[in-house]
A and B are shown apart, each in its own frame.
Chain A
Amino acid sequence: MKQKIRIAAGQGFWGDLPEAPVRQVEGGPIDYLMLDYLAEVTMSIMQKQKARDPSAGYAKDFVPLMRRILPTCIERNIRVTANAGGVNVLGCADAVREIAQELGFAGKVRIGIVTGDDIMSRLDEFLAREIELRNMDTGEPVSTVRDRIQSANAYLGAWPMVEALNRGAQIVITGRATDTGLTLAPMIHEFGWAVDDWHRLSAGTIAGHIIECGAQASGGNCQYEWSSVPNLADVGFPIVEASPDGTFVITKHERTGGWVIIPSIKEQLVYEMGDPREYITPDCVADFTTVHLEYEGRDRVRVYGIQGRPSTNFLKVSISYSAGFKAVGTLVYAWPDAYEKAKAADRILRMRLDRLGLRFDQVLTEFVGVNATHGPLAGEPRSDLPEVQLRVGVRGENRTAVERFTKEIAPLILTGPPAVTGFAGGRPKVEEIVAYWPALIPKEEITPVVEVLEA
């Protein structure tokens, strides 16, 4: 058994720095590259793409990335775990297989495919059996939005990926799998951890949590002494050096920017945290109150002491459904009286919307430069602000009303308060809202499927 494996984070979300995974592969020794592509509503975007084009529906960026890094990955035996498959895991795997063949690696690469997360076609069966998929936040049963559902996927954990790795997959592609599972799976595979080794599974899960947002652990978005973070232009993405006993070190490649320090790790540990004793994944329940941190050198933080508990009998399900339309318009008002002018423009706009008889579920006005981030906590602004951006958003079920709203912004330039600009982009775009519905489903309802293809 290896005594240490290095798992590198290459993407913190779909759209993260394109060069990051390349630099992780080429910038120093690693054994695994993990790539997290799926935010909560990404699946619904992919579902729409697949409806238009049956060969689409996965993270397209993953394919050209593999073209760039596959030769190095094969040469150095770096294995890849990625939830790039979206709602078309097979399509994604086919595209990667083609690339492998083009590069001359036919017969030399195995691609692991994890499916079984997509439950869209089984929803009515579940509802008929009184599996209600109640919204975890509101308690409402999913039947209330049944006809508006666009995608439904269960979050799979690390174990199906472990099976793919055990069967020799160099690249593991999943659909809806947990971010943390992408990091945990290589550890289970290499170190042979048992399915009920809750402390170690929790350690690997927390390691995954630390690196799943990419550079947010290594100096990006670091509130602690932010202006001292070195060379963010060349920020190094985080790497986990994992040991069989469940301890690990967070580090990054040498000669990269950013920093791995205890405060940066602490900030990432508390990010998107609920009850710290109950970090629930399909694989375990990790306890963040048992995490201990210590320095082990420059840009090296050792993490130890982690404990956890048995996993629950449920899997989380992410359902997306259409929830109306929205649009946001902005205008910029200049000194003098910038804030007063912006407020006057907002009053005029609202009167016009009112007289048109337009009704919305919500109209929100923010004044960027005054209160858009901290609201009333920002206090009264000084009287001579150089500029203020008026930002008005509306949301409602009626597309026509939202469309009409978008035609009322630009006219304010010639029919409202003076010294106004910032409308080069044309009318605001009407956006269809695809909302997120989190639910739970009994584990036994979901059967992950693992296939391993030869390229």
Chain B
Amino acid sequence: MAERAELVAEQLTAGYGSVNALDQVSVSVASGSITAVLGANGAGKTTLLRTISGMLRPRSGRVTLDGAALRRRPEDVARAGIAHVPEGQGVITELTVEENLRLGLLLRPPGQRAAALADAYQRFKALADRRRQLAAALSGGERQMLAIARALLTGPRVLLLDEPSLGLAPKIVAQVMALVRELRDEGMAVLLVEQNARGALSIADHGVVLNVGRVVADADAAALAADVSLRRHYLGF
């Protein structure tokens, strides 16, 4: 298993054009835990992940991994061991399932690749059955699994998941959440962005609630789930 990792985002401010989508947001996650990032549409959750993974340059603040500042470009962040599964999964539909997975493998040393791929097919049997099909032929749930499997193949210590349950049927959502819990139990640090706050809080250890780019709550998942007025105001249940 990988060594302990800690990802800390401090006072991030970022945005598009003249608007700041994030305003001094701080968030952290360590190995073997899930931090959920919650809030309504437009709260800045996706912007937060994009800023951490380097897709968007912050206007102020910094991101560190194990105390060391992260380099800015997404490819460098990925190589540092942080895998970002973007909103909409980011599955490359023109490639086959196996080609998508092999893309993830490129960050592994050549000697480990065959074994890692075999493990992935073990864990994600549905993908094994469809390995030669174009990713475009997969259903929403299968694409989500493919995106996560592909991200895992890069050998990350931190996983950034952007709305993995979006557009999926409840049964599939449950499978995805179960998978994320498994990964946490295996030692992964997971930053989980979700609109489905109830589902996210049911597996998370810690939670951060954003509203219009600012942090309005930062507490244990259990405490957040128990706070009825907070839930009603910001989380929709």
Does A associate with B in a complex?
Answer: no
